[in-house]
Structure 1
């Protein structure tokens, strides 16, 4: 039997040409994947179901799965947890075998189940009337392996022409998908490390040192109390877990109410609420209220294990800040600077001295005093500022 000619025409040649030349304006790989499956069907390949599994670099997810089935115009997207590899749904699955080095998996779903592989996935596909299943690794650069699968309900399964046509698609899909996945990865990494708004500006070209814009914003600086003592006396892993739990308690309400965290500084964070949103200042205090509730819940959980409660201080001010790129010629930080940031930092430092968790400047308090109950705590000297500053405390 002669081996098939790799250059011989196949049923999928039109799909290969479309992937090569017709997808330039499509940004999302899930849309390309769904359209590819539909076009493979239209080319005469009896495709009933297909999945595309990709590994991604994301702080919360190991990967993503795109799934298409006959009649669908769009692919379903499911995110995959990091601990999936410890679950029965993964162990012994095609994804497991491909990641362990298999070059191809083929399962005849028509034969007696006792003769086939035992994984539950094959039973599920048999129950849906599928007759044949094939899975291949999809290679990106530097040997990174993803997974593509195809299944049919055709009696007798895929024939040799169908398999040859599907294989013909793989190298081009690998190139097309890698570009989109890496574009998404770049966006995800920027959002993870600098925030959503800053990442949009950077991707739009705001990468020149010294460039930026003046933004009027409410500035919030938060710091964990007695962290030095905690870090000196606790095991390293416990300290990391504590910081992550603390930042979750503080960060999620900030993001929920429209704030943007620009950086974590040791055990502190800097966030802004731009005033182009009419309720920005009120939203900041709503975020503080929910963060306090989250910290109370965290302290209750920690108390059950014998840990001391965590305390924090928050300084809040409002004013114009320079928002942009600052740093060396080869290493930049996208941040905010200006007297308003310094003021928020000084107020945070005063919270411990004045015995208050949250201190607000008069400039900020004037914007929210009709909606929130504030405590006037008088005028106080603030390091770096010549005149005493009138301060208010907020007790959520």
Structure 2
């Protein structure tokens, strides 16, 4: 029988050692640097890196570029271009101008990017091979095997913090700020705190970018690509620390790190960690997290992609339709036959409004019209399917209760007319024409191979649009079909009406709305 010992992960370490004698750096035949004070940094699982004192460079450097990278135990690296005659090598060298204590030995030194040099002459020095083997342990094993089973970012965040504790990392607070593509929400901020059962989740609006709590925080610093933040809170306050450091220190935190967590599209999100161990985070702690951060970031990217897909679908095709598309109804022709009340609501006087207001103010007025209609429709369990020019198409599915759909559609129509006629102070009163019809429609995906639309198709949708046009022509704000009339307490019979592209006359009714609440009638355009 063979017995295999369980491999143990070597802890993450860095060490800085001097190199003896003269060390030279070349690019082809051009000598870039020559020094007798070179140092080498050994870092677990990475190739050794030679550092040269900046004053021993023999070629000029440019000012710091926009590129910055962060290491939680070395600090934020700045990059500079290197010039050889007329040749410019972009981001050729990096340096840690304010290194963290673990890397204080390379203050004032630069490292060369691989594309900047062709060889380094080490003299009698021999560099050690990279040590450490493969990264492993409870956290890594969980990321590879168990993490994929979590369905929400909240569940994943809690489990991530607990696995860090299992690995011996004394984390007392963990947060992730992930940016989104939601039209109203800037992103999601997940916060785990030791001793609390629930994850705190915040969904800040885009006003966060101007809020002092964000503008003067590590979250903004990291999100803007300025590198990471590391501060040992047990050492006491510093002149340049962020306000949150004082709050965390008061809660017993001894160490803090905020590091970039990029998504595949380049967006920079933020992972922050606080520690309550008297000695703070160790290099091994931060090295492990740093090595795992790309994988951790991919999990959050998946969570955010799903949320983004859901929010974008809800924004562009509606909540019910978005859920159906996200649920798999994505092929052309997918859909159901449903009974529903259909609303077609058209803004009156649109051409005149654009001419009088100008394009910018008119767009603002049009958005107010759409927002008013949408909010009222949603409040009555309807769904806005689409905006068509200056009109709104909405559906009120009946399910097993046709009368309820009639009432919801009727209530929405009367509230819309009243709300548009009673704007807030300083806003323009608006008029609309609404057609309501009821019937069986196809609710699903239609379109071309390259462009699909989730909508309703059927005679009821056509009749609703034509009734709105008819009402506009005869001066009635709301006109409904005979099916809807039962939900109306103040309907005026209009008789049978011949509608464009409808094969048979339609019996319809005008809905009387309190005239005292409505604006004066404007000429049609």
Same-fold status (TM-score > 0.5)? yes
2:389 alignment partner in structure 1: 266
Equivalent residue of 1:36, what SS?
helix
- Separation in 1, partners of 2:254, 2:165: 16
2:317 alignment partner in structure 1: 194
Equivalent residue of 1:48, what SS?
strand
Say whether the 8 Å CA contact 2:479–2:508 is kept in structure 1.
no
Say whether the 8 Å CA contact 2:491–2:510 is kept in structure 1.
yes
Correspondence 1:339 to 2:462? no
- Separation in 2, partners of 1:94, 1:389: 66
- 1:314 CA displacement: 0.8
1:312 alignment partner in structure 2: 432
Task: Sort the Cα spacing of 1:395 and 1:61 in 2 relative to 1 into closer, same or farther, 3 A.
Answer: same
1:206 alignment partner in structure 2: 329
Residues 222-275 of structure 1 show CA distances to partners (whole Å, capped at 9, x for unaligned) of 011111122233232212211221111110121122111111111111010111
1:291 alignment partner in structure 2: 416
2:44 alignment partner in structure 1: 5
What TM-score does the superposition give when structure 1 sets the normalisation length?
0.91
- Separation in 2, partners of 1:382, 1:354: 13
1:375 alignment partner in structure 2: 492
- 1:186 CA displacement: 1.6
Say whether the 8 Å CA contact 2:229–2:259 is kept in structure 1.
yes
Task: Sort the Cα spacing of 1:4 and 1:387 in 2 relative to 1 into closer, same or farther, 3 A.
Answer: same
Correspondence 1:140 to 2:179? no
The answer to which of 130-139 and 25-34 deviates more is 25-34
Alignment of 1:241-280 (within 5 A): 241-276=364-399, 278=401, 279-280=404-405
Alignment of 1:31-46 (within 5 A): 31-46=155-170
- 1:354 CA displacement: 2.8
Task: Sort the Cα spacing of 1:9 and 1:40 in 2 relative to 1 into closer, same or farther, 3 A.
Answer: farther
Task: Sort the Cα spacing of 1:296 and 1:25 in 2 relative to 1 into closer, same or farther, 3 A.
Answer: farther
Q: Which has the higher helix share?
A: 1
- 1:157 CA displacement: 1.8
Task: Sort the Cα spacing of 1:81 and 1:10 in 2 relative to 1 into closer, same or farther, 3 A.
Answer: farther
- 1:293 CA displacement: 4.7
2:275 alignment partner in structure 1: 152
1:71 alignment partner in structure 2: 195
Residues 49-76 of structure 1 show CA distances to partners (whole Å, capped at 9, x for unaligned) of 1110011001111111001100234321
Q: Which has the larger radius of gyration?
A: 2
What TM-score does the superposition give when structure 2 sets the normalisation length?
0.69
Say whether the 8 Å CA contact 2:346–2:392 is kept in structure 1.
yes
Residues 176-234 of structure 1 show CA distances to partners (whole Å, capped at 9, x for unaligned) of 22122212222221111111222222223322223332111000010111111222332
Count of equivalent residues: 387
1:168 alignment partner in structure 2: 291
The answer to which of 20-29 and 34-43 deviates more is 20-29
- Separation in 2, partners of 1:189, 1:17: 34
Task: Sort the Cα spacing of 1:247 and 1:75 in 2 relative to 1 into closer, same or farther, 3 A.
Answer: same
The answer to which of 46-55 and 103-112 deviates more is 103-112
Gaps of at least 5 residues in structure 2 are 1-14, 17-41, 46-130, 515-525
Task: Sort the Cα spacing of 1:11 and 1:156 in 2 relative to 1 into closer, same or farther, 3 A.
Answer: farther
Q: What stretches of structure 1 move > 6 A for 4+ residues in a row?
A: 9-12
1:129 alignment partner in structure 2: 252
Say whether the 8 Å CA contact 1:16–1:172 is kept in structure 2.
no
Say whether the 8 Å CA contact 2:178–2:300 is kept in structure 1.
no
- Separation in 1, partners of 2:133, 2:417: 66
1:389 alignment partner in structure 2: 507
Q: Which has the higher strand share?
A: 2
Say whether the 8 Å CA contact 1:138–1:145 is kept in structure 2.
yes
- 1:121 CA displacement: 1.7
Task: Sort the Cα spacing of 1:116 and 1:36 in 2 relative to 1 into closer, same or farther, 3 A.
Answer: farther
Equivalent residue of 1:80, what SS?
coil
